[in-house]
Amino acid sequence: MTVVAIVDTGINLQHVDFQNKLWINPFEIAGNGVDDDDNGVVDDIHGYDVITGQALSRVEDPEGHGTHVAGIVTTTSPGAEIMGVRLLDASGGGSLSDAIDAWSYALIHGAQVINNSWGALGVKPSNVEFLKEVIAIGEEEFDAVFIAAAGNESTNTDRVPNTPSNAPGMISIGASTRKGNPARFSNYGQTTVDIFAPGVNILSADAFSTTGRLRLSGTSMASPVVAGAAATLLDRQPLATPATIKQQILQNVVPRRRLTSLSVTGGVLSNEFTAPFTRSLRQNKKMNSTNPNSINEGTNPDTGTATSKKSSPGKKNFKKIICILDQPLKDEKMDIWNELIAEPYTKKVAWPEAFSDRICVLTVRKRHRGKSDRKDVIRSMRSSGHFESVEWDRKIGITTMSSDSHNSDLGSSTATIPTITDPNFSLI
C-alpha cells in the first residue's frame, strides 16, 4: 500500500480513524527505547517529530490540524498508510529548513506521497530556489509525489506567489465548494494553482478525541483529498512515475465554468475521489471564462461561518541559512564542512540525508543574527564559491481552525472559523 506522509502539526495516533492505517517502521522495535534502525530517532514506529527530534508518538498532535488532514487522506484512500511527520508547533508555526528535514525523513522511509497543508504568501521563487532542487530530488530519486495547499487569502498566486505550492514540481490545490465553485477564501492562479478539490465543511478526525470528528474548511482540507487520490492511483500502478500520477490527476477533472481562469486545469478533482466530501458534479455545458476577481464577490452558502484574512509574507528566519551545493565530490564536501564549521558565525552544519549531495543547512550563532552581522554572514557564504544558491530560512504556518466545541460523538460536526495564529503566517 502507498505510504502518505502528512507533514503537519502531528497526528493523534490513538484516533479510531487510523486503526490499522498507520505506517509502521519495519526496522524499529516498538517500546524498547533503542534506535534500532540507527536513524537518530528512538522508537519512531509511526513517524517523526522534527521539532524535538523524538518519535511522533511522544508528542502526537498538540495543535490538531494534522490529525484532521490525515483523516481526509484515509477517507479518500482507505488503503493508504499514514506516516506522521510533525513540522509545525502547537501554535501552527514552523520554518522551511525544518520542512527540508521533514521531507528527508519521509523520503528515506518510503513515503510516495507527501502532503503539505501549510505555507507562506509573498515569498518569491527566487528566494527559495532550494525548493525546486529538493522536489526534483524527491521525484527523480525517490519517486515521490509532492502536493501542497494553495492558501486561503483569496489571492491570485500568479501575481503574489505562495510557498511551497508555487514551487516547480509541487501540485498546487485550491479549495472548492460542494457545488464545484471556488471557495471564497481560496487562492487561485491560472498558471500556479493546478486543480481544485473539496475544501469547505470537510468532516474528518478530531485530534482532541479518540472517536470524534469535526468539520473544517480551507485549502488545507482540499490538499489531502488530492493526496488520497494520488495514493489510490499508485496502489493501482505501483511502478507509475510521479509525472504519470500528476498527469492522471490533472487530466481527469470535472471542468467548471467558474474555475476556467482560476487554475491550470479549470476544474475539480474527478468525482471518483471526491464522493465522500461532496455530491457528484456534472460537466458544464458551456465553458466560458470568468473574471478571476469573481472569487471574492458575493456570498457563498457553502462556506458557512468561514472567513478569510490576508497575511503578510513569510518573514526571514535569521537562525538558519539554506544552500544548494555546487555538486561537490565526497572529499570536497568534507572540505566545505570543515571550512564552514571554522567560521565564527557557524553553530552547526546539517546535511539532510535525502538531499545531502545538494542541500546544506547552516545554523547561525545567536550573536551573529543582528542586522549588520547577518549581512556579513550571508555575504561571506555567497562569496565562498561553494554554492549555487544561498538564502535565509523562511517562516511558514497554518491557520488554526477554532470551533464552538469538540464533539466526541463519532460523525458529529461543529461550525468552524479560520483564525490566523501569527501575522507572518499564511492562511492554509
Q: Find all residues with CB under 8 Å of 423, minimum gap 6, and list them.
A: 311, 312
Contact 208, 257 (CB under 8 A): no
426: annotated active-site residue? no
d(CA 69, CA 194): 19
Contact 273, 76 (CB under 8 A): yes
d(CA 146, CA 229): 12
d(CA 134, CA 30): 31
Catalytic residue among 65, 68, 109, 386: 65
Contact 366, 346 (CB under 8 A): no
220: annotated active-site residue? yes
Q: Find all residues with CB under 8 Å of 356, minimum gap 6, and list them.
A: none
Q: Which position has the grid cell 527505547?
A: 33
Say how many residues make up the chain.
428
Catalytic residue among 8, 17, 43, 98: 8
65: annotated active-site residue? yes
Q: Find all residues with CB under 8 Å of 89, minimum gap 6, and list them.
A: 9, 51, 62, 63
Catalytic residue among 220, 223, 308, 413: 220
- Mutual orientation of helices 242-251 and 219-236 as an angle, nearest 10°? 120
Count of CB atoms situated within 10 Å of the CB of 313: 19
d(CA 269, CA 277): 12
**Would you name the residues annotated as active-site residues?**
8, 65, 220
